[in-house]
Amino acid sequence: MPEHGDMAIDTIPIVDIGGFRDGSAKDRVARQVQEAAETVGFLYIAGHGVDQTVIEGAFEASRAFFALPEADKLTVKINNAHRGFMPINNSTYTADLKPNFNETFLTGLDLGPDDPDVKAGVPLHGPNQWPAAMPALRPAIDTYFNALRDVGDTVLRIFGRALDLDEDYFLPYFKKPMPFVRLLHYPPQPPTRAENEFGIAPHTDYGFVTILAQDEVGGLQVRRRDGGWIDAPYVPGTFVVNIADMLKRWTNDRWLSTPHRVINTTGRERYSIPFFFDPTYHTLVECIPGCNRNGEAPKYPPITWGDYLKQRFDSTYDYRKAKRQDGA
């Protein structure tokens, strides 16, 4: 029999987490999530409790923001706290690929100058930026951000149970989390696009978990173990959830962080809204109890989450490469 990580992916499972939220089927939900995390690294979640009007409001605001003149969007150009607007072609995963053909707007925890981490100069901590030309953006995205934090807390509890840990195992690591909402706009790519040109190139996410809302346009693909790709289409009433690199490391590779990409050759504008839910900056990540099976040694040394994330950001985003070259 193949190991879980060698199994072919043909479909991405849908897990209704409503039975976990109301307490009627916690073990069943945890088992389904555990199987998806070990075999696919991706799943859809239904029964998440977020009102569709909140999701639609965020997408409406996203479309309106990206329709603004470039000059208005650049008034909130991304800052060193990783909050704000990035134009098209401003992130790259590897030198052999063209920059990602999307534009993005990021918000996180809104941390003012009196916040202890901001005062201490902790990387990736600071205030959000909002465009004066679109006052409606903030309430729509703040509402979505808060709703997804609630979903994230539920996912943490499911993950704890799925790993045969206490349901609250991960909560202390998320007392002051590092969540980001990322609005993404993918303009249509020509059907004759270059082989190394993507809406977003094949990659794995860096952190703990990603919870994605996408529109009906499509274009998201997940890599199979054999190197092929399968579509992860829009499924009404669901979010796409994927395990990210740090959680893979935390579980000693028991759970998968699976490469994925976006190719938008539909001729339509594509929008998506990932919510990246990551732990407190100073969290020490080391092998979770029970994940070093058969007494094997942990595969990775302990590492601080924030230092790891900063290294990954510095190698990906052009604005951070420029600051590093300037000594920042």
Q: What is the pLDDT of residue 96?
A: 62
Separation CA 205–CA 215 (nearest Å)? 20
The closest of 39, 93, 18 to 243, measured between CA atoms, is: 39
Burial class (CB in 10 A: 0-12, 13-18, 19+), 116: exposed
Task: Please give the backbone phi and psi of residue 73, each rounded to the nearest 5 degrees, phi first.
Answer: -65, -35
CA separation (Å) from 18 to 242, 270, 275? Answer: 18, 29, 20
Q: What is the pTM of this model?
A: 0.92
Q: What is the pLDDT of residue 177?
A: 97
CATH number of the domain residue 49 falls in: 2.60.120.330
Q: What is the pLDDT of residue 2?
A: 37
Q: What is the pLDDT of residue 21?
A: 98
Domain of 280 in residue numbering reads as: 4-325
In 82-212, alpha helices (H):
116-119, 137-162
Other residues' Cβ atoms within 10 Å of the Cβ of residue 310: 17
Q: With H, G, I as helix, E, B as strand and everything else as coil, classify residue 207.
A: coil
Contacting residues for 236 by C-beta, under 8 A, at least 6 apart: none
Task: Please give the backbone phi and psi of residue 213, each rounded to the nearest 5 degrees, phi first.
Answer: -105, 135
Q: Mean pLDDT per segment of 10 residues, for the chain of length 328 residues?
A: 45 97 98 98 98 99 99 96 91 68 96 97 96 98 99 99 98 97 95 83 94 97 94 97 98 97 96 98 94 87 89 70 42
Separation CA 242–CA 220 (nearest Å)? 12
CA separation (Å) from 85 to 75, 124, 180, 183, 314? Answer: 8, 15, 13, 9, 17
Q: With H, G, I as helix, E, B as strand and everything else as coil, classify residue 220.
A: strand
Q: What is the pLDDT of residue 324?
A: 44
Other residues' Cβ atoms within 10 Å of the Cβ of residue 230: 18
Count Cβ neighbours within 10 Å for each residue of 49-88 and write b for 16 or more, e otherwise. Answer: ebeeeebebbbebbeebbebeeeebeebebeebbbbbbee
How many structural domains does the chain have? Answer: 1
Sign of CA dihedral 271, 210, 80, 92: negative
